[in-house]
Amino acid sequence: MHPVRAQFSLLAVLLVLALGFTQASAQTGSAPSGVTATVNGKAIDAKTFEQIIKNNVANGAQDTDQLRAAVKDELIARQVMVQEFSKLGLDKNPDAIAGLSYVRENFLIDFLLRNHEQKHPLTEEMIKAEYERQLGLIGEPSEAQQYLTRLIVVPSEGAAKGVIAELKKGADFAKIASVQSVDASKKNGGELGWVLPAQVLPAIGTVMVNLKEGSFSALPIQTPYGWYVIKVEEKRPFKIPSLEDSRAVVIQTLQQVQRQSYVQELIKNAKISK
């Protein structure tokens, strides 16, 4: 995994501590300079290690010797399992190959879109203009409804149908969103926040208003950006919010439009046969 994206939750760290996994349980030695550890000669890069520490600290952890030891043990455990995966020949398994390909595509798509956003940052003028535009679409505020919505965005209809099948079996919507979605909302379990139908893509808004609280879309929703599965957690009468209260939703809307335009430009310039 690229060090920029490598992340470990505190839960994973605590799990390692609970299992009592320590370097004393294996043959140990001093790692070379610039290397956190080696496992059967395979180096764990120190930059990757430091990025994971940084990510944990950003999520509220303290940079302690205990945290560093736990993260190092977690990295070693993961590398041991990855090596065993290959040793058993599971990297040749068709299901594993297909699964890895899908995960890799999701990572590449997410990285590409985030890279585009970083190179084209939203300005305060753009945010204010979008806020005013959305207010103009509300109509009569006393009759408007807001929807607390979650969404999962995937690249294909097949992937969206797979998501819906998992949800019908009782899978947690937020967990699937955090793993499979290619939308920026994945970091919040797919939560879009309280939105009006006019604040989202028309195809999404049309489905949203017809869902009951706690239910999700039974069919994939096609948009120019990707295939959506949405869930309405709650509904409430709308009250006009301030720009600051609406900022997160306005930014997400602008990011969706920005991503949609970028993807459409890429498709337009590609040679495609169907």
Last residue of a domain, one of 34, 66, 90: 90
Residue 152 sits in the same domain as residue 81 = no
DSSP for residue 53: H
Tell me what pLDDT residue 7 has.
Answer: 41
Residue 131 sits in the same domain as residue 218 = yes
Residue 77 sits in the same domain as residue 170 = no
Number of domains in the chain: 2
pLDDT tens-digit map of 78-111: 999 999 999 999 999 999 999 899 889 988 998 9
Comparing CA positions, the residue from 198, 263, 269 lying closest to residue 225 is 263
Residue 119 falls inside a structural domain: no
- Which amino acid, 135? L
Report the CATH number that the domain containing residue 198 is assigned in CATH. 3.10.50.40
Given pLDDT bands bounded at 50, 70 and 90, which one contains residue 242? confident
Residue 273 falls inside a structural domain: no
Residue 255 sits in the same domain as residue 167 = yes
Domain boundaries, position 139 = 124-268
Given pLDDT bands bounded at 50, 70 and 90, which one contains residue 5? very low
How far does the chain reach from its first CA to its final CA, in angstroms? 33
Residue 107 falls inside a structural domain: no
Question: What share of the chain in percent tops pLDDT 90?
Answer: 50
Residue 28 sits in the same domain as residue 145 = no
Residue 52 has which token pair?
């994971």
CA distance 226 to 157: 8
Residue 29 sits in the same domain as residue 137 = no
The average confidence (pLDDT) of the chain is 84
Integer CA distances (angstroms), 255 to 55, 213, 225, 248, 271, in order: 23, 26, 11, 11, 26
Residue 139 sits in the same domain as residue 202 = yes
Residue 3 has which token pair?
């060090």
Mean per-residue pLDDT for 227-235? 96
The DSSP bridge pattern shows strands 42-45 and 35-39 to be antiparallel
Residue 112 falls inside a structural domain: no
Collect contacts of 8-16 with beta carbons under 8 A, ≥24 apart.
8/52, 8/55, 8/56, 8/71, 8/74, 9/59, 10/56, 10/59, 10/60, 10/61, 12/74, 13/56, 13/61, 13/67, 13/70, 13/71, 13/74, 14/70, 16/70, 16/73, 16/74, 16/77
Give the range among 1-5, 53-57, 80-84, 174-178 with minimum mean pLDDT: 1-5
Last residue of a domain, one of 32, 67, 90: 90
Instruction: State yes or no: pLDDT of 8 exceeds 70.
Output: no
Last residue of a domain, one of 42, 67, 90: 90
